[in-house]
Amino acid sequence: MSRKTGIVKDERYLRHDAGFGHPESPQRLGATYTMLETPDMAGHFVEIEPRYATHEEIGMIHSLSYINLVASTAGKIFVPLDPDTAATPESYDVAKLAVGGLFNAIDSVVSGEVDNAFALVRPPGHHAGVSNAAGFCLFNNVAIGAMHAISKHKMERILIVDWDLHHGNGTQAQFYEDPRVLYFSTHQYPYYPGTGAIEEIGRGKGIGYNVNVPLRPGTDNAQYVKIFRKIICPVSMKFKPDLVLISAGFDPYYKDPLGGMKVTPKGFACLARMLMDIADQCCGGKVVATLEGGYHISGLAESIKATLIEMKDGTHVTDDELDRIANEADSNTDPVIKKVIDQINPYWRLL
């Protein structure tokens, strides 16, 4: 049985220009949107119209002074906001549309209009802090999306899984003391932005609700699947989320120019399937992904395609296959898996 999978896509997302030669280029989504028009993809997904998020909504995460700063860039040729992040004339509008696109994806899943959804938006979000842009990100889409689910839909437990190559420092900081949001990240380490050590597990009421798996370059499909099987799956089943949000960065792709990981499109489909299985058992399959990084243009489109087909049940990686893939993993990640479990075990009793 296939699932109804929604997608947020809009040509306006191509209007944010991060600057000449910047890896976070409009071509990223351009190639993805072209892929969605191919005969095997066209017409198979429910298109969800985006909307502009309001200042009040963005203010659930960001300071008003920062929102006003981004707003002040509208119509200006080039405004640097961070060493590698800039706004151009339409960036502010596009960033509001990225947040609102994710809102509408969440609303469509909650209402049952679709079973799951992928917001194919830009600019990305997970590095943006309360009062700052960072790492190509203007507003923290996934963090604001989590607050939208909590405030509008009265959800009590949100799982955010961030498989981007880079640690989502903005998202982590936002929910570091908040037990309503379980933040889980796999990322290349040490690498930009320098956060995401194993010891960063939350603080106060949020202790244990922040799980980092820092990885060396070269981590492949089998190792990622093993990490998810050993850590995120059991923790999530104890957390029992009302909604699963994915910060879906495709820069762990094996040819990505900014990373050193070895994940293939099939690998991303496996990660999506494991999160779908968690959602099926905990929250009626409610999964919403939002695009973060991924800078190999054709690899990004291929990886998103594999993920979307898996989300739609066009393919279905079975439990047995996931176990087989995990068992093929070499022992390189075993020490980090053990260290992570040792850190969080007092809070989740995994052992």
Kindly list the catalytic residues: 127
- For residue 250, give the 3-state DSSP assignment: coil
* Calculated CA dihedral for residues 140, 143, 149, 150, nearest 10 degrees: -130
- Reported as type and span, the H/E element at residue 79 is strand 79-82
Smallest CA-to-CA distance from 67 within 132, 14, 161, 163 is with 132
Distance of CA 148 to the CA centre of its chain: 16
Distance CA 85, CA 135 (A): 6
Q: Which 8-state DSSP code applies to residue 283?
A: S
In this structure, what token pair is assigned to residue 264? 């293939």
Q: Where are the alpha helices (DSSP H) in 22-140?
A: 27-36, 55-58, 64-71, 91-111
The DSSP bridge partners found for residue 160 are 183, 245
Angle at 127 between CA 336 and CA 14, to 5 degrees: 125
Q: Partners of 184 in the beta sheet? A: 161, 211
d(CA 333, CA 227): 8
The overall longest dimension of the chain from CA atoms, in Å, is 55
HSE value, Cβ hemisphere, 13 Å, CA-based, for 331:
1
CB-CB contact of 183 with 172 (8 Å): yes
